[in-house]
Homo-oligomer: A and B are copies of this chain.
């Protein structure tokens, strides 16, 4: 793919990831030539918002795409591959977990462009700050995906399939479980009628600190000070046995990590 050439993309999917990818493409020099989706309501809404041709019929897919970019639910790939109308096109999915060989019955040019971020539809973010991780064994697909990635974000890299799955796992800890802790913190606070607004600056600062430092340098709280008095008070305050257990495990993780460091 020549450096100055445009890149035509057909986007398949209408969910969170598709919403963000589509927006990012419209803002970049990438031509989003068509959107495909099975959910007619979502498809029409997206296509109208973007002013882009759309279809819910795979047989009406444009044959002109440089890349067919899939942002579907992980379970949907087998079915769609069995009826996809083109052979040997460049096809890429966006999942952290689906195998990069999922398109191999259809094309030699399959791969993955994995945007490593948490996406919520209607919640815009700076897409040029989203790391795009490319996982493919095909040089032609790799070239196209690197071109696409470079237009969409300033952070992109090649990774192996093993790395991609591990990255997905680490993201569950950094994002999904972190958000679960925010929810628990909110519930603990609200039990005594404390507003979640009191917690927001603390949450923001905790995430801000690790943008320039490593989290183990930034650890604060009773566990890192090994303050057993406060730790025991806290475990007593918690009523739910599952929360007590969670408090125990995370406290032990902090203590163990501090020991390994020293």
Contact B166 A186 (CB under 8 A): no
Binds B, one of A31-39, A58-66, A135-143, A188-196: A188-196
C-alpha gap A176/B181 in the complex (Å): 10
Residues of chain A at interface, number, CB under 8 A: 92
Centre residue among A183, A211, A247 by max chain B CB count within 10 A: A183
Assuming the contacts A173-B185, A186-B214, A221-B172, asked whether A205 and B117 have C-beta atoms less than 8 A apart, the reply is yes
B-facing residues in A221-262 (Cβ within 8 Å):
221-224, 227, 229-230, 233-234, 237-238, 242, 245-247, 249-250, 252-254, 257
B-facing residues in A187-219 (Cβ within 8 Å):
188-189, 191-194, 196-211, 213-216, 218-219
Assuming the contacts A201-B131, A202-B116, asked whether A174 and B167 have C-beta atoms less than 8 A apart, the reply is no
Contact B179 A206 (CB under 8 A): yes
For residue A125, CB closer than 8 A to chain B, the reply is: yes
Q: Within the complex, which residue of B131, B185, B205, B247 is in contact with A118, where a contact is CB–CB below 8 Å?
A: B205
* Copies of this chain in the oligomer: 2
Assuming the contacts A176-B221, A182-B174, A253-B242, asked whether A207 and B216 have C-beta atoms less than 8 A apart, the reply is no
C-alpha gap A208/B129 in the complex (Å): 14
C-alpha gap A219/B183 in the complex (Å): 9
